[in-house]
Amino acid sequence: MIGTFFALVAKELIGFFRSWGLVAIVLYSFTLDIYITGAGIEMQAKNIAVGYVDETGGGMSGKILSRLHMPEFQKPVMFTSREALSRSIYNREIMVGLIFESDFEKKLKRYGRTSIEMLLDSIAATQSFQALQYLQNILLDYADIGIPVELKIHKLFNPNATTSQFMAMAEMLSVITLLGVILTAVVFVREKENGTWDIMLLMPIDPKLIILAKSFSQVLVIMGGVVIATGIVLFGVFDVPLNGSIAAFFLLSFFYAFTSAGIGLFVAAVSKSMLQVAQLSILIMMPLIFLSGAWTPIHAMHPLLQKLSLISPLRYYIEGSESIFFRGTDFADLWSYFGGVIVLGSVLYFYGFRKIGRLF
Amino acid sequence: MSPGVIRAYILKEFRELFRSRLILIVYILPTMIIILFGYGIRMEVTDARTLIIDNDNSTISRDLSARFEHSRYFDTRVTSGMGEQEALKRIKQAKVDILIIIPDSFEKRLLHGEKTEIGVFIDGAFPVRATTMQNYVKGVIYDAARSLTDKKPTNLITVNSRNLFNQSMRDEDAIVPGLIGLILLVAPAILSALLIVKEKEEGTIFNFYSSPIKKSEFIVAKLVPPLILHTVNIFILFLWATWLFEVPFRGSFLLYWAASQIYIAISLGVGLLVSIITRTQIVAIVLTIIITIIPGFLYSGMLMPISSMSGESKIEAHIYPVMYFNHIIYDTFLIGQGLDSPKNRLYLTILFFYAIFLILLGSRLMKKELS
Amino acid sequence: MAELEIRGVTVKHGGITAVKDASIYAERGEIIGLIGADGAGKSSLMHAAAGVIRFDGEVSFGGTSFGSPREAERLKPKIGLMPQGIGLVLYKNLTVSEHLSFFSKIRGLKEDAALNDYKHRLLKMAGLERFTERPAGKLSGGMMQKLSLICTLIHRPSLLILDEPTTGVDPLSRLELWKILEEIRESEGTVTLMSTAYMQEAEKMDRVYLFDSGTIIASGTAEELNETVKGYVYEPVACRSDRCIAAGHYTYSLDPLKTPHKEPTLEALFFINALKRGVEIPEIVVSERESEEPIPQVVMEAKGLTKRFGDFVADDHIDMDLKSGEILGLLGANGAGKTTFIKMLLGLYPIDDGELVLLGKPIRSAEDRLGLKARIGYVSQHFSLYKDMTVRENLLYFASMHGIDAKKASSRIDRYAKELGFTSYMDSLPTELPLGINQRFSVAAALLHEPVVLFLDEPTSGVDAIARSQFWQMLKLLKRKWGIAILITTHYMSEAEYCDRVVLLKEGRKVADDSVENLYKKHPAAKSFEEIFLHYYEDGR
């Protein structure tokens, strides 16, 4: 029994390592792909292009402009007229346009308050909003508003608020899902296509054992990728903090890999050809990834989507992993994530066993 | 080129597309992407789960809490007497996003003009949201504090901001037009690659190899069906954007259409190139997705404006076609300069030649023989 | 100058030379045969002649010559190519009539009454006129090949290139395919270049070229070729040496034997060539089974077995039994229900109606089969091996699936490899090996657990003559030494004669069930078993 199980696993692993194309795709996904996403996708506003028109002739305006610097702002570009500035914004070369009107400084001296005219390209809404906040914070430093309240703000878990760490982690979880589903589905459908599945069904073995062993082999491949990605990309390149237990993360990943293999099993059970596998995987995985909270926290979603997300195993996995890496949640408090992943996985295998078992 | 041959081939492609139900993917996938991403991506923070521990329970502290309770940005619960450790644990369990601790004798010190301190803890696991939440909290508390003192602020510089293009800073306006660019890059490429690779994988490609059909006829026959089918998507996606997501449309529809049509041609060129180097349908799909989705996102301007890019990423953005198309798309939806802008004219021209270049390159590289 | 001349053509696939310096000629109206083992280079030469692959050398047809696919373009209106593989060039979702209209349009034919008449004629010749609205994917293998052929003929090519159009096709469809070819060459003077695995077909051709590892080693008419080997062919007699081999109804020997000579067939060419070149043809040995489990007298008993797919009845109340020590041949046209029947026996398809008793046990549910799996062996149409594992790994894997412990498995595998003659291929991947070797070791895989009954579904399609002869030798030995029951399907009617008993299926019904001798007695006029087969099929048409 155990011997047969490992023979099945070994066979799949041999097959995997012999198809260099597959190995290359898996390696690429667990390293470069995660790196590109982490390094490339930046949601925090940075390096904002600023232009200005200064009608005052320097002084206060110069002081303010000198406070606009990296990493938040590019060096402000001077424009000679409002029209030129506005044209540049319309052509989307400049995101923030500041206009210091001629009486800007005069007003400040006379009334103690003054204002800057600002043209803001607010297409990228979040970034624009942040740009506005940055600017207001800078200006607030000059003011003496005389409030006796001091705010002590602690940003927990990721104090520098680096998007790359978060994105890299989220992308790794998406990659696990993607490969877990596709690799497993391919393993089963390839047997269907080559006719070897018939032979397997004629072996004096419980088909459940075959299904479990084949899934397990792909789980091993995925776990290998997880170790590489966590070690090299997450910790090595992006310096992702680890506030919880790494063992808990690997255990959760293991269960999750099994569950995503279960989705692959489902896909394989209902498709007849590789093309159908590809189509179905896309149709199933897109919602899965977007209902997971990788891009938007669940509780900020449309209420209907929130309900739907309950059946996405990735939701539990992402929340669980966030908690382990960033929040440092205790192992005992992770039970709901483990529970969600395991329950959904069990349902999928139950279906897979029945569907593929029906051939008997 | 013989129109009869091309027509026969195209007819065959359509029959196969309908009978194999591949046609469903052609229309389900784009709509699914726009709806999922459109509803799924929320950068704006509302209803941040906020826990206020009011250890003072005074008029002022209650007033402060009420300000949070009345804001749509926060979903507030006020409690008193909960220990800091206990409250922090809630954040760790991801049950609370923001924790605000008002110290005891808060009101007394405030009235005596003494300095007092409010502790704020924010879950930073999701960085952009954390920054936004931080700014919200600051805003509410400073506002409240200002209304309490009669002291006039001095040296105050305010920003008189005019939000152009997306006045109310809606996420939908920011994301949905970019999604159209992503979809029109990915979907036609997959379909055109599939139509060719399918024949290679199944062996029917011999009908092309062994007959007098010209390479140009074959390519036209393979690219026209995806072009026609996805042209419909130009309109479907437009409807979703303007009707479902209520994104304003300020520019010229004709420009939107023309640019999208050219963009689909570019996508078909990508598919053609993929089909030349792949043999199996599954590899063709995976490869197309890898080479289109990531640039489609990175250089779309959805998440980061092109003007904020520097160095390599700026150069890469100029190499991929995504940036040029998205510039025009955002212009037609939100800005409305149209062809009056020289930049739009230039970008449209670049897209046009980009399409021609890719398809010509594909035609050159494709061989009418077994390899 | 001949109508078709292929001069010194060499084709390379990624560094490997598939055909070297091959020359062939053909006159107007001739049918030229290419024969040789799997992988000998026939397909590559045909691809070169059709102008679909790059090659060195020159092909000229009707006075126009080309040396590359690009130059071949101007000849393509005159060429028709049907590549190897059943239904390969067909679009599974398109109907028969849509195929004809598609192929006539891409050939730019004028849509007129003449074309319509021609289409009707082709449909009629192929016997497809009743199926014009059926999608190609739902046709039987034989029908697919006939449809492919008429699609290739639609533009009246003057050079027809057919790559194994009859492999895996039943005798009746083969005959019909041939009729179409004969008609077309009579009326159009078409030159046909055709490869085949059936030597009876090759004998009907005007000239035959024999390929061996990429070179043409003999050519001429069937008589001329037979003449060259006549001296080496004898009546069957036991003999075994490097220079002598007994195969089926013949014995081939380079040295003179005392036995009388026998009239050769083209198959002799393969054996004599192998002997002359000193190619080692390992002798097949089968030793006793290790297990001493008794074998029941009646291994399988089916009563009224029925399988329906929607309205279509694939198997209609079939009775059949199988005894130990018996080789039962299951024959029938493509789509007659042979594979479906075997799959029902195995439990791969549920049984819709009827009773089945396997190894003395009535089968009513999946549970009834559990204990029997260890005693059944099965080889499917496509051999079903894992392409990314070596022969040894495949065999070890199957052994462990049967719960045979590793030591016992290794020794058994080594023994089979030696006895069945594939020791030198143990560490190669199945894709690198000739079909004949794949076939032999997939049978070995099905024998690892020493089953008492063996089901073989078309194990010999596309396999060359020598490998087939060895295969049958192995089956006979298995029957004698192990006493097991074997059920086999085949399209080679000559192989039916090696069976103890044959069952003939026609459109899902059993039409004959008797020993080969009795059938010959019932049909005294028949010269070969093929004629008996056709007799049953032509009845009531």
Residues B332 and B349 in one domain: yes
CA A85 – CA A87 distance, rounded (Å): 5
Question: Quick check: is A265 in a domain?
Answer: yes
User: What are the chain C neighbours of B15 within 8 Å (beta carbons)?
Assistant: 93-94, 98
Residue B89's contacts (CB-CB under 8 Å, 6 or more residues apart) are: A333
For residue C243, the number of C-alpha atoms closer than 13 Å in the C-beta half-sphere is 5
Taking CB atoms and an 8 Å limit, are C366 and A196 in contact across chains? no
Residues C18 and C143 reside in one and the same domain: yes
Assigned token pair, B183? 């979809």
Determine if residue B174 is left, alpha or beta; phi over 0 gives left, psi from -120 to 50 gives alpha, anything else beta. alpha
- How distant is the Cα of B120 from the closest Cα of chain A, in angstroms? 5
Secondary-structure breakdown of chain A: helix, strand, coil percentages, each rounded to the nearest 5: 70, 10, 25
Are B338 and B282 found together in one domain? Answer: yes
In a domain, A297, yes or no: yes
B65 and B140 within one domain: yes
Whether A136 and A288 have beta carbons less than 8 Å apart is answered as no
For residue C341, give Cα distances in angstroms to B301, C320, C337, C488.
61, 10, 6, 12
> Other CB atoms closer than 10 Å to residue B1's CB: what's the count?
10
| C392 at interface of A, judged by CB pairs closer than 8 A | no
Residue A105 within a domain: yes
Closest CA to C443 of C424, C470, C404, C406: C470
Give pLDDT, residue B228: 94
Angstrom CA distances, C377 to A51, A149, B322, C362, stand at 80, 85, 58, 19
pLDDT tens digit string along A158-173?
A: 666 577 888 888 889 9
Q: Which of A124, A137, A136 has the alpha carbon at shortest distance from B307?
A: A124
Q: Can you tell me the distance from the alpha carbon of B293 to that of B186, in angstroms, rounded to the nearest whole number?
A: 7
Do residues A310 and A227 share a domain? Answer: yes
- Domain residues for A72? 50-142
In a domain, B247, yes or no: yes
Q: Which of A202, A206, A273, A360 to mutate to test the interface with C (most CBs of C within 10 A)?
A: A202
Residues B314 and B174 in one domain: yes
Are residues A166 and A92 part of one domain?
no
User: Are residues C253 and C399 located together in one domain of the fold?
Assistant: no
- The pLDDT tens digits for A113-131 are 788 888 888 888 778 888 8
- Which residue in A has a C-alpha nearest to residue B112's C-alpha? A148
Cβ contact A286:A252 at 8 Å: no
- Whether B6 has a pLDDT exceeding 60, the answer reads yes
Let me know whether A14 and A107 are in one domain.
no
Neighbours of B239 (CB within 10 A): 10
pLDDT tens profile A89-105: 888 889 889 888 888 88
Q: Are residues B178 and B272 in the same domain?
A: yes
pLDDT averaged over chain C?
88
Using the beta-carbon criterion (under 8 Å), do C83 and B203 form an inter-chain contact? yes
Tokens of C535: 């007799």
In which residue are the tokens 């990721």 written? A158
C208: in domain = yes
Q: How far B213 CA sits from the closest chain C CA (Å)? A: 7
pLDDT at A359: 44
State whether residue C497 is helix, strand or coil: coil
Q: Of A5, A22, A64, which Cα lies nearest the Cα of A216? A: A5
Residue A32 included in any domain: yes
- Together in a domain, A117 and A247: no
- Does residue A357 have a pLDDT over 60? no
> Cα(A315)–Cα(B108) distance, rounded to whole angstroms?
46
Per the DSSP assignment, residues forming a β-bridge with B161 are A118
CA-nearest of B37, B22, B18, B29 to B233 is B29
Quick one: closest CA in B to C155, which residue?
A: B211
CATH number at residue B122: 3.40.1710.10
Q: Is residue B161 part of a domain?
A: no
CB B111 within 8 A of CB A313: no
Q: How many CB pairs under 8 A join B and C?
A: 79
Q: Number of structural domains, chain B?
A: 2
Q: Does some domain include residue B153?
A: no
Q: Per-residue pLDDT for A273 more than 50?
A: yes
* Residue B359: partners with Cβ closer than 8 Å, 6 or more residues away: B219, B223, B265, B268, B269, B272
Residue A46's pLDDT is 81
Indicate whether C188 and C337 sit together in one domain.
no
Q: Which two tokens stand for residue B128?
A: 């952009």
Flag whether pLDDT at A360 surpasses 50.
Answer: no
- Determine the pLDDT at residue C67: 92
Please tell me the distance in Å from B211's CA to the nearest CA on chain C: 6
The predicted model scores a pTM of 0.85
- Give me the amino acid identity at A71: P
Burial grade of C405 (CB within 10 A; 0-12, 13-18, 19 or more): exposed
- For residues B166 and B260, which has the higher predicted lDDT (pLDDT)? B260
What is the DSSP pairing of strand C215-220 with strand C233-234?
unpaired
Same domain, C70 and C209: yes
Does pLDDT of C487 surpass 90? yes
CB contact under 8 A, C384 and A205: no
Task: Write out residues 332-371 of C within 8 Å (CB-CB) of A.
Answer: 343, 346-348, 366, 369-371
Judgement on whether residues C381 and C449 belong to the same structural domain of the protein: yes
According to the model, what pLDDT value does residue C349 have? 86
DSSP assigned state of A206: -
Indicate if C247 and C302 belong to the same structural domain.
no
Helix and strand numbers (H, E) in chain C are 18, 24
CATH number, domain with residue A96: 3.40.1710.10
CA distance B262 to A328: 50
Task: Answer whether A322's CB lies under 8 Å from B125's CB.
Answer: yes
Do A131 and A223 belong to one domain? no
Residue contact B8–C88, C-beta within 8 A:
no
CA distances from B240 to B181, B244, B248, B254, B264 (A): 14, 5, 12, 18, 18
Same domain, C193 and C320: no
> Of A77, A112, A142, which one is at a domain's C-terminal end?
A142
Judge whether residue A151 has pLDDT over 70: no
Who among A14, A204, A359 is closest to C388 (CB)?
A14
On the CB side of A72, how many CA atoms lie within 13 Å of its CA?
A: 17
Task: Give the pLDDT score at A158.
Answer: 62
Please tell me what DSSP assigns to residue C381: T
Residues B269 and B188 in one domain: yes
Highest mean pLDDT among A276-280, C26-30, C402-406: C26-30
- Is the domain of C33 the same as that of C99? yes
Q: What is the pLDDT of residue C297?
A: 86
Residue pair B198/A275 in contact (Cβ under 8 Å)? The answer is: yes
The total number of structural domains that make up chain A: 2
Question: Chain C contact for A2, CB < 8 A?
Answer: no
- Lowest average pLDDT, out of A190-204, C185-199, C322-336, C512-526, goes to A190-204
Is residue A58 domain-shared with residue A31, that is, in the same domain?
no
Lowest pLDDT segment from A111-115, B76-80, C531-535: A111-115
- From C220, C240, C262, give the residue that closes a domain: C220
What's the pLDDT at C116?
Answer: 92
How many domains are contained in chain C? 3
Task: Give the mean pLDDT of chain A.
Answer: 84
CB atoms inside a 10 Å sphere around CB A220: 16
Q: Is the same domain home to A219 and A338? A: yes
Sequence-distant (≥ 6) Cβ neighbours of residue B31 within 8 angstroms: B236, B237, B240
Domain match, C234 and C207 both: no
Residue C245 to residues C163, C232, C276, C339, C468, Cα–Cα distance (Å) = 30, 10, 12, 34, 14
Residues A171 and A240 in one domain: yes
Cβ–Cβ of C380/A19 closer than 8 Å? no
pLDDT at residue C503, rounded to an integer: 93
C216/C238 same-domain check: no
Chain A contact probe: residue of B29, B85, B308, B323 with most A CBs at under 10 A: B308
Which pLDDT value is given to residue A41?
Answer: 73
- pLDDT band (50, 70, 90) for residue C421: confident
Asked if B356 is an interface residue toward chain A (Cβ–Cβ < 8 A), one would say: no
Task: Indicate whether A150 belongs to any domain.
Answer: no
In this structure, are C192 and C341 located in the same domain? no
Domain assignment of residue B207, yes or no: yes
Asked which of A109, A142, A175 is the last residue of a domain, the reply is: A142
Domain-embedded: residue B158: no
The pLDDT, as a whole number, for residue A137 is: 80
Say if residue B199 is in the same domain as residue B218: yes
Q: Let me know whether A34 and A54 are in one domain.
A: no
**Does residue C287 form part of some domain?**
no
- Flag whether residue C390 sits within 8 Å of chain A, measured between CB atoms: no
Same structural domain for residues B124 and B261? no
User: How sure is the predictor about C295, in pLDDT bands with cuts at 50, 70 and 90?
Assistant: confident
How many C-beta atoms lie closer than 10 Å to residue C259's C-beta? 13
Say yes or no: A199 and A240 in one domain: yes
Q: pLDDT tens for residues C110-164?
A: 889 989 999 998 898 888 888 899 999 888 888 888 899 999 999 999 999 999 9
Q: How far is CA A2 from CA A200, A268, B145, C401, C403, in A?
A: 17, 25, 70, 11, 10
Q: Which domain holds residue B197?
A: 3-41+170-365
A229 shares its domain with A100: no
- The CA distance from C342 to C331, in Å, is 12
CB within 8 Å of C251: residues ≥ 6 apart: C233, C234, C235, C236, C237, C239, C244, C245, C257, C259
Give Cα A189 distance to the centre of its chain. Answer: 29
Residue B302's CB: how many other CB atoms inside 10 A? 26
With beta carbons less than 8 A apart as the criterion, state whether B125 and B98 touch: no
Q: Does position B26 have pLDDT exceeding 60, yes or no? A: yes
Q: Is residue B284 within 8 Å of B194, Cβ to Cβ? A: yes
Same domain, B238 and B98: no
Asked whether the predicted pLDDT for residue C431 surpasses 70, the reply is: yes
What are the tokens at C139?
């046709």
Are A330 and A226 within one domain?
Answer: yes
- Per-residue H/E/C for chain B: CCHHHHHHHHHHHHHHHHHCCHHHHHHHHHHHHHHHHHHHCCCCCCCEEEEEEECCCCHHHHHHHHHHHCCCCEEEEEECCCCHHHHHHHHHCCCCCEEEEECCCHHHHHHCCCCEEEEEEEECCCHHHHHHHHHHHHHHHHHHHHHHCCCCCECEEEEEEEEECCCCCCHHHHHHHHHHHHHHHHHHHHHHHHHHHHHHHHCCCHHHHCCCCCHHHHHHHHHHHHHHHHHHHHHHHHHHHHHHCCCCCCCCHHHHHHHHHHHHHHHHHHHHHHHHHCCCHHHHHHHHHHHHHHHHHHCCCCCCCHHHCCHHHHHHHHHCCHHHHHHHHHHHHHHCCHHHCHHHHHHHHHHHHHHHHHHHHHHHHCCCCCC
Structure tokens at A284: 């199933």
Q: Which residues of A touch B118 (CB under 8 A)?
A: 149-152
Domain CATH number, residue C339: 3.40.50.300
Residues B21 and B124 grouped into a single domain? no
More confident residue, C46 or B134: C46
CB B23 within 8 A of CB B17: yes
Q: How far apart are CA C7 and CA C59, in angstroms?
A: 6
Confidence of residue A149 (pLDDT cuts 50, 70, 90): low
Are C353 and C243 part of one and the same domain? no
Calculate mean pLDDT across residues A323-329.
83
Report the percentage of chain B scoring pLDDT > 90. 34
Instruction: Pick the residue from chain A with its C-alpha nearest to C371.
Output: A204
For every residue of A142-203, DSSP letters joined together read H-B----EEEEEEEES-TT--HHHHHHHHHHHHHHHHHHHHHHHHHHHHHHHHTHHHHHHTS
* Chain C residues inside the 8 Å CB shell of B201: none
Taking the C-alpha atoms of residue C541 and residue B60, their distance in angstroms, rounded to an integer, is 102
Are B249 and B353 part of one and the same domain? Answer: yes
With 50 as the cut, is the pLDDT of residue C541 above it?
A: no
Confidence of residue C48 (pLDDT cuts 50, 70, 90): very high
The confidence score (pLDDT) of residue C97 equals 93
A158-172, B259-273, B275-289, C506-520 — most confident range: B259-273
Mean pLDDT of B158-173: 77
Of all residues in chain B, what percent carry a pLDDT higher than 70? 98
What is the reported pLDDT for B311?
75
Q: C504: domain range?
A: 298-538
Tell me what the mean pLDDT of segment C164-193 comes to.
Answer: 88
Q: Best-predicted range by mean pLDDT among A343-357, B274-288, C203-217, C255-269? A: C203-217
Q: Examine residue C286 and state whether it is found in any structural domain, yes or no.
A: no
Q: Check whether B236 has a pLDDT greater than 90.
A: yes
First to last CA, chain B: 25
CA of C231 vs chain B CAs: smallest distance (Å): 43
Establish whether the linkage from the previous residue to A71 is cis, with ω within 30° of 0: yes
Angstrom CA distances, A231 to B73, B126, C259, stand at 38, 21, 77
Confidence of residue B155 (pLDDT cuts 50, 70, 90): low
B72 and B102 share a domain? yes
| Element at C541 (helix H, strand E) | none
pLDDT tens-digit map of A276-303: 887 888 888 878 877 777 667 777 777 7
